[in-house]
Chains A and B, each alone.
Chain A
Amino acid sequence: MSVIEKIISQLSNPGRDSLIPVLQAVQEEEGFISRESVIEIGKALDLPASKIYGVATFYNQFRFTPYGKWNIQVCRGTACHVKGSAALLSRIERELGIGAGETTKDGFFSIEIVSCIGACGLAPVIAVNGNFHARVTPDDVPVILKHYRSIQPEESKQ
């Protein structure tokens, strides 16, 4: 049984209305929503791929590429926003040449937007595979990225 078959078999009344829970479960299980998943979900719930893609892109929580080796969570909560997280995010996006929810071609970095991660006192905050970086300015970004480029995830203390 495929992941999606399993997820759908657990629903009491699978149908078009189950789309969002199914997408959430697939992302939970596989880390992202693949093209194959969209097509398979479409067959199972009788929904066109364009509709599923449309719904999934409406919500920030879904991603369509697997996480990179280093997943950079950028907090866009209120406190971080006030302290300039928008500029920080766009600097990270520019440095990496990808947008939020995407992964670099070499698979090294991905960017994920999160809401308040409970470290408002340190705003603006980013967390790279769980390592927190406090009061990050846009100009800190190249240094931080350089650091992670030089090490493998296993070597860092999680």
Chain B
Amino acid sequence: MIQIEVNNRQVEANKGELLLTAIRRAGIKVPTLCHFEGLPPSGACRLCVVEMDGRLAPSCATTVSEGMKCQTHSAKAVRARKTIIELLLADHPDDCLYCVRNGNCDLQTLAEEYGVRTRRYQGEKSSCHLDVSSPALERDPAKCILCGKCVRVCEEIQNVSAIDFVGRGSKTRIETAFNDGLNMSSCVFCGQCIKVCPTGALREKSSTKEVLEAIADPDKYVVVQHAPAISVSIGEAFGLKPGVECSGPLNGALRRIGFDKVFDTSFTADLTIMEEGAEFVSRFKNKGKLPMITSCSPGWVKYAEQFYPDMLDNLSSCKSPQQMMGAVIKNYFAEKSNIDPKKIFSVSVMPCIAKKFEVTRDEMLNDGVPDIDAVITTRELVRLMKMRGLDLNSIEPEPADNPLSLKTGAGKIFATSGGVMEAALRSAYFLLTGKELDSLDIKVVRGLEGRKEAKININGTEVGIAVVSGLKNASDLLDEIRAGRSDLHFIEIMACPGGCINGGGQPIGVTPEAVAARMKSLYSIDKNEKYRASHLNPDIQKLYKDYLGEPLGHKSHKLLHTHYAKRDVVK
């Protein structure tokens, strides 16, 4: 511990830490635009400047030292920040009223906080093209302030590098290679860049309009499913504490919006486990391709197709729970309820941007009918609810609809990194031994670390497992396997760091603490569920008995499994 002086008060700081960190710990707010927690400072925006001995220094790039003195809000520092904001606004469209980030934009907030009331600088605005080429993500470079955070998350966390700074000086932009647009690029549509963008320059391709049109169409039977991550995340947008479980009110809200049926994707997470567990056991017993790698994260799947095409046989052939639900709705449910599948408009609410891409994959059509018709993110659902005047706090809890909603704890924890592995092991253990695990809690795979590994003993055989999230972590592990590592049998990979609870479609401005709270909530739901392993779900058992037959059977194969192919992109 060392002593520094901030605004004439003594403040304790840890040796070697950034001045910004110490200042913030002391409860003083210094704004940042380019600072990226956990990555080395880039010093691009200069918004975090503080005055030290009459000079201005960026606090995000200054290491504390004993006796250091700074003023965070001296006239000079405040003036410098205000000027930077004004200059940013000089090259910014006056578009707040129409902007997806209105009310939730760092630039807008700063302009307000620093009292910008007039346009002091009239700049020539850079002319830019919207990039709407992809099925998942839109880029509006006119609103970009060149903070570089998207470039960093894409390169340093996701190891994709679809975008970079292009050009120089006043012509600098964030672009894909050759300005091709995201669709041609190596972008995997994880949406992590949207979450770090301080402005409306990056956003999801919205599908709320199609959804509302379908609801208004009397000929359409509109069903919705919500992913296991949604109920523990959406409350934050309505002022609830992070992690508060809201399935009940969420079901009610979706009915009020006008959906004819509300299903819970946790149910088909259980179904995924039945298929994937059986697939693992079959590969394990019959010396099939190992390690088997999960395939429920479409950003990861696209990444594999682009960067690890040699390992596609390692991917489980299981569709994701979203796609399984889509297929089950338009086949089993349609048949059972006597509804023409062509009349069904199937919507999913997902924490994910890549899910929007996943539904457009050719493999996700069944005899020409798409499994899912529209995907909306958590953020879009919040917008729909606000549009309809719905407040989660004042909606009575309602159950989701049978027969596609009964979930187990295993299905629910799919939303977190480690959850798919834990759920799969609970059922794989049963399939291999005929017995239930002594303790269903497999704690070694829990937590927010980027990589978790363990050896699990099943009937005397040691099974090597690994769980990674964030694609940089994934590629590090895959490189070890390419280089010959052979002690792993089963790997869970999720594109987003921490899994779906930190997905690219989740509310903007989540803190790591909020993500941890969501995770905790999932495990406590799991703990309290009547059934905690997928194979014990009575409605899943019924679905197999009445319709599917058995895991990996003929019907499952047609409806619930898919395949992958090498994907050529500019990379």
CA A58 – CA B171 in complex, angstroms?
10
Name the contact of B161 in the complex, choosing from A38, A39, A51, A59 (C-beta under 8 A): A51
The answer to whether B161 and A57 touch across the interface, beta carbons within 8 angstroms, is no
Q: Quick check: is A52 within 8 A (CB to CB) of the other chain?
A: yes
Kindly list chain A residues whose C-beta atoms are within 8 Å of the C-beta of B160: 48
The answer to whether B161 and A53 touch across the interface, beta carbons within 8 angstroms, is no
Query: Which chain B residue has the least Cβ–Cβ distance from A52?
Result: B177
Kindly list chain B residues whose C-beta atoms are within 8 Å of the C-beta of A54: 164-166, 175
CA A50 – CA B571 in complex, angstroms?
7
The answer to whether B178 and A64 touch across the interface, beta carbons within 8 angstroms, is yes
CA A44 – CA B175 in complex, angstroms?
22
A122 to chain B, nearest CB (A): 28
The answer to whether B571 and A42 touch across the interface, beta carbons within 8 angstroms, is yes
Kindly list chain B residues whose C-beta atoms are within 8 Å of the C-beta of A38: 177-178
Q: Quick check: is A19 within 8 A (CB to CB) of the other chain?
A: no
Q: Quick check: is B155 within 8 A (CB to CB) of the other chain?
A: yes
CA A53 – CA B177 in complex, angstroms?
6
Q: Which size bracket describes the interface of B in this complex?
A: 10 to 19
Kindly list chain B residues whose C-beta atoms are within 8 Å of the C-beta of A49: 177-178, 186, 570-571
Given contacts A42-B571, A54-B164, A57-B167, contact A48 B178 (CB under 8 A): no
Q: Which size bracket describes the interface of A in this complex?
A: 10 to 19
Q: Quick check: is B176 within 8 A (CB to CB) of the other chain?
A: yes
CA A52 – CA B175 in complex, angstroms?
12
A19 to chain B, nearest CB (A): 13
CA A38 – CA B167 in complex, angstroms?
16
Query: Which chain B residue has the least Cβ–Cβ distance from A64?
Result: B178
Query: Which chain B residue has the least Cβ–Cβ distance from A43?
Result: B571
A33 to chain B, nearest CB (A): 10
Q: Quick check: is B168 within 8 A (CB to CB) of the other chain?
A: yes
Residues 63-87 of chain A: 1 if any B CB is under 8 Å from the residue's CB, otherwise 0? 0100000000000000000000000
CB neighbors of A among B527-571 (8 A): 570-571
Query: Which chain A residue has the least Cβ–Cβ distance from B569?
Result: A49
B437 to chain A, nearest CB (A): 43
Given contacts A39-B570, A42-B571, contact A50 B168 (CB under 8 A): no
The answer to whether A48 and B165 touch across the interface, beta carbons within 8 angstroms, is no
The answer to whether A58 and B167 touch across the interface, beta carbons within 8 angstroms, is yes
CA A57 – CA B175 in complex, angstroms?
11
Q: Quick check: is B162 within 8 A (CB to CB) of the other chain?
A: yes
B565 to chain A, nearest CB (A): 20
Q: Quick check: is A35 within 8 A (CB to CB) of the other chain?
A: yes
The answer to whether B167 and A50 touch across the interface, beta carbons within 8 angstroms, is no
CA A11 – CA B164 in complex, angstroms?
26
20 additional contacts (CB under 8 A) given A49-B571, A64-B178: A35-B178, A48-B155, A48-B162, A48-B164, A48-B571, A49-B186, A49-B570, A50-B161, A50-B163, A50-B175, A50-B176, A50-B186, A51-B155, A51-B164, A53-B166, A53-B177, A54-B166, A58-B165, A58-B167, A58-B168
27 A-B pairs in the complex with CB atoms less than 8 angstroms apart: A38-B178, A39-B570, A42-B571, A48-B155, A48-B160, A48-B164, A48-B177, A48-B186, A49-B177, A49-B186, A49-B570, A49-B571, A50-B161, A50-B163, A50-B176, A50-B185, A50-B186, A51-B164, A52-B177, A53-B166, A53-B177, A53-B178, A57-B166, A57-B167, A58-B165, A58-B166, A59-B168
Chain A residues within 8 Å of B, Cβ to Cβ: 35, 38-39, 42, 48-54, 57-59, 64
